[in-house]
A and B are shown apart, each in its own frame.
Chain A
Amino acid sequence: MSKLFPKSANKLPLQIIILVFIVGSLVAAGTTYYATNSYTNVGYAPVQPVPFSHALHAGQLGIDCRYCHVGVDKSAVSSVPAAQTCMNCHNQVKPDSPLLQVVRDSYASGDPVPWVKIHQAPDYVYFNHSVHIARGVSCVECHGKVNEMDVVSQDKPLSMGFCLDCHREPEKFVRDPKLVTNLDWKHPGGAAGQLEDGKKFVHDWNINPPKSCSGCHR
């Protein structure tokens, strides 16, 4: 009987198995790395109609987040300020700056400034800002150090896994609600101090973040 296959064909099944394993691993690694929010959303920094710097206003001037984002501690939505909020100061500070023309037009006409939304929860997620603020989840946990951003970019993935990290272990993140807008604050006792105080807060305020589907998807 003649040889149908050369001798090297003996190695072929093993080589195929190895190759399938390597290609499979690469596809899995590539999907995890590229098809998740950490790649698709983090770093999104759209060009805004007004080159507003949070680093200047919130960082250097130390204006509280809630001065402009008024709704954040009483409603589901952290509202984007009306042009009047800008004009509180900019009717006197840099009143003729061409960069602020859009704001002055908005103030005069009542039409909104066309800000571009960065942090976008899917429409099937019912996120409520006020409940997080009231229970001591700082802005920085989801938005990063906005007070150091000249141009705001998305800092955290805001994926479901990201939400659940905190919903499962809130004691690692909660702080005194008076400190929520202090984005530079870190527990002076380090991770151990945070955990100790966090556990106390979770107990005292009866924090029981929903981990079931219907908590956020209604």
Chain B
Amino acid sequence: MRYVYLTLFFVVVLALSILGFRGSLSTRSPLEVFDDMDHQDKYKAQASSKFFADGRADRTRIPGTVAFGRRSDAADATFLKADSARFEGKDAKGAWVVGFPSAITVDAKFMERGQDRFTIYCAPCHGAIGDGNGITKQYGMGATPTFHDVRLRTMTEGEIFNTITHGKGNMLSYADKLPADDRWAVIAYVRALQRAAHSTAADVPPGHKSELGIK
């Protein structure tokens, strides 16, 4: 009987030494103990495909594709992105929009959205206060312009919109990260940053002047 237990002990030691412990790093793909229906014959986002020549399940948009499923009898400003001010930053004559398109309401919630999106997508290079001193500068990013010079303070909203949409110079397009309305929200926040950087004592609400030590 002693030998039975001894054998059992060695079997356990052998199993432990071969299988190891939980959580140890491995480059091998996970073991699948019961893999029933784990992998089904269907495509998931960003997956690969053996059917298509380029090997991907996601298909690129066919040129000339038109948005489907909108009601043609109801007024819909987003239909086919017909509102050029909102989706291109240009008015009917093709000039840059000054101020915000009529479809956009700038309120506190909108500004908060702008701050949120600005912090994620713009601040790494442009800096949290828009002075062009983002973290990437320390890693070899070229000169990023400050928002606080005359050129960018006087630039029309439409042209800023166009810059975010299509990029400019070394900056690539951010249209894939910021949908049109988010771009306007970012612009609203940039305007707030510019105003804050050039504020005077007169801009401080009377109730808060004492906190800053001004009369």
Interface residues of A (CB under 8 A from B): 15, 19, 22-23, 26, 30, 33-47, 61-64, 66-67, 70, 75-77, 79-80, 82, 84-85, 87-89, 91-94, 111-112, 120, 122-124, 151, 153-154, 178
Shortest Cβ gap from A206 to chain B (Å): 20
Q: How many A-B pairs fall under 8 Å by CB?
A: 109
Contact between chains at B25 and A43 (CB < 8 Å): yes
Shortest Cβ gap from B98 to chain A (Å) = 28
Q: Known interface pairs A38-B23, A93-B136. Does A44 touch B141 (Cβ–Cβ under 8 Å)?
A: no
B33 touching A93, Cβ below 8 Å: no
- Contact A67:B12 (CB < 8 A) given known A40-B31, A82-B176, A122-B38: no
Q: Is B65 positioned at the interface, with any CB of A under 8 Å from its CB?
A: no
> Are B23 and A34 closer than 8 Å at their CB atoms?
no
* Distance in angstroms between the alpha carbons of A136 and B171 in the assembled complex: 32
**Would A44 and B121 count as touching, CB distance under 8 A?**
no
- Cα A44 to Cα B28 with chains together (Å): 7
For residue B60, give the distance in angstroms from its CB to the closest CB of chain A.
8
Binds A, one of B42-50, B70-78, B149-157, B190-198: B42-50
Interchain nearest-CB distance for A204 vs B (Å): 18
Give me the interface of B with A, judged by CB distance under 8 Å. Answer: 1, 4, 8, 12, 15, 19, 22-33, 37-40, 42, 44-46, 54-56, 116, 119-121, 124-125, 135-136, 139-142, 170-173, 176-177
Q: Is the CB of B23 within 8 A of A40?
A: no
Lowest 10 A-B CB distances belong to which pairs?
A123-B40, A77-B45, A122-B38, A40-B31, A64-B120, A41-B30, A93-B140, A35-B33, A39-B22, A43-B25
Describe A's contact surface by its main secondary structure.
loop
Tell me the smallest distance from the CB of A176 to a CB of chain B, in Å: 13
Residues of B within 8 A of A47 (CB): 27
Q: Closest CB-CB distance, A86 to chain B, in whole Å?
A: 10
Given A30-B15, A77-B46, A92-B140, decide whether A123 and B37 contact each other with a Cβ distance below 8 A.
Answer: yes
Contact A38 B22 (CB under 8 A): yes
Bound-complex Cα distance A120 to B142 (A):
38
Measured between beta carbons, the chain A residues less than 8 angstroms from B44 are 77, 123
Bound CA span A19–B6, Å: 12
> In the docked arrangement, what's the CA distance between A91 and B119, Å?
21
The answer on a CB contact under 8 Å between A111 and B121 is no
28 residue pairs bridging A and B, Cβ less than 8 Å apart:
A22-B8, A30-B15, A35-B33, A36-B33, A38-B22, A39-B19, A39-B31, A40-B33, A42-B22, A45-B25, A45-B26, A46-B29, A61-B135, A61-B136, A62-B135, A67-B124, A77-B45, A82-B176, A87-B172, A88-B172, A92-B140, A93-B136, A93-B141, A111-B55, A112-B46, A123-B40, A124-B40, A151-B25
- Give complex CA distance A94, B64 in Å: 37
- Report which of A75, A79, A91, A123 forms a contact with B42, defined as CB distance below 8 A: A123
